[in-house]
A and B are shown apart, each in its own frame.
Chain A
Amino acid sequence: MITQHLLITRPSHDYLTRYLSAWSEKFFSNAEAKNYSIIDLQKKRANQKEFESIIKKRSPDFVVINGHGSDDVITGHENKPLITAGVNSSALKGKITYAISCRSARVLGKEVGGYDATAYIGYQEDFVLVYLTQFRTRPLLDTLVGMFLEPSNIVVTTLLKGHSVKDAVARGKKEFLRNIQRLLTSETSATQSSNVRFLLWDMQNLVAHGDKEKIL
């Protein structure tokens, strides 16, 4: 069987990136089970030079980018630019990219989605997370943040199962919605249900550009 490559960037220089990094590990076993080789650019390795080099040498089919972002850029370690619209976005040509980052779907995602046979999934507004200070050093124990990052991980696992970009986004949104509905039930405390507005925000801002029928 031909091994496919999944490239992931996981900076972890602040609490947000540590959370994203830790929760991304949850889908590694799914990827390996589907015979994916994971190229994991962690911490200092999440930099533009290494990112471009790996893409050139290994040509991954699937790219997952964790990091801070804005309309036209996603950053890596220490918030240094990793991929920027009008600079090196063509590195993502022909691939499926999922960016867990703020606002990158607005400009960068549209640009990447404009390349042939390419898809970009991301958020068109700030990606909001709510977590508890007591778990900041043990992010995987924080079930509150899981309400945000489990739906995000479902986007990845749906793609790994061979479903289309369109289906992956729909399933991610559905999981956000399921969590929202759980929080709206009468058994849930008012403090927990106060997170509903942030889950809905992330759900509504999860979008895809480019070839939405593309599969891995």
Chain B
Amino acid sequence: MDNTLSPNSNDEIVRSLVAERLKTLPDGAVISVGSDGEFTKEQLIESVNKGNDIGRKMIDIEMSFLQGLKDGILYDHSTSTDN
């Protein structure tokens, strides 16, 4: 059996993961994403599924979070001013 995933399958899995994560946001929460405006969690989930700019931003944020978990940054007290 071939267990490899095509790039499209990966994208689909990531979108699905991010959409599921966004469902856990509190009811009545509004997420302000700078000059792009403010969004309800339902609007963000729709954006992720559509793959528009805001959806891609949510994916960036989720991937950054997962990378942070992997790197142990959430338990690291040393912070840096460097970019």
Contacts of A180 in B (CB 8 A): 74
Contacts of B79 in A (CB 8 A): 169-170, 173-174, 177, 203
Q: Which of A127, A131, A144, A197 is most buried by chain B, counting CB atoms within 10 A of its CB?
A: A197
Closest chain A residue, CB of each to CB of B58: A197
Contact with B along A1-37 (1 / 0, CB 8 A): 0000000000000011001000000000000000000
Out of A127, A170, A207, which one reaches B83, CB within 8 Å? A207
Bin the interface of chain B by size. 20 to 34
CB of B50 within 8 A of chain A?
Answer: no
Contacts of B34 in A (CB 8 A): 68-69, 102-103, 126-128
Instruction: Looking at the assembled complex, report how far the CB atom of B83 sits from the nearest CB atom of chain A, in whole angstroms.
Output: 4
Q: Inter-chain contact count A-B, CB under 8 Å?
A: 106
A interface residue numbers (CB < 8 A to B): 15-16, 19, 68-70, 79, 102-103, 105, 124, 126-134, 136, 144, 165-166, 169-170, 173-174, 177, 180-181, 184, 190-198, 200-201, 203-204, 207-208, 212
Task: Add 11 more A-B contacts to A132-B26, A144-B26, A170-B80 (CB < 8 A).
Answer: A15-B38, A102-B34, A130-B25, A130-B29, A131-B32, A132-B29, A170-B81, A193-B24, A194-B21, A198-B61, A208-B81
B interface residue numbers (CB < 8 A to A): 21-22, 24-36, 38, 57, 61-62, 64-65, 68, 73-77, 79-83
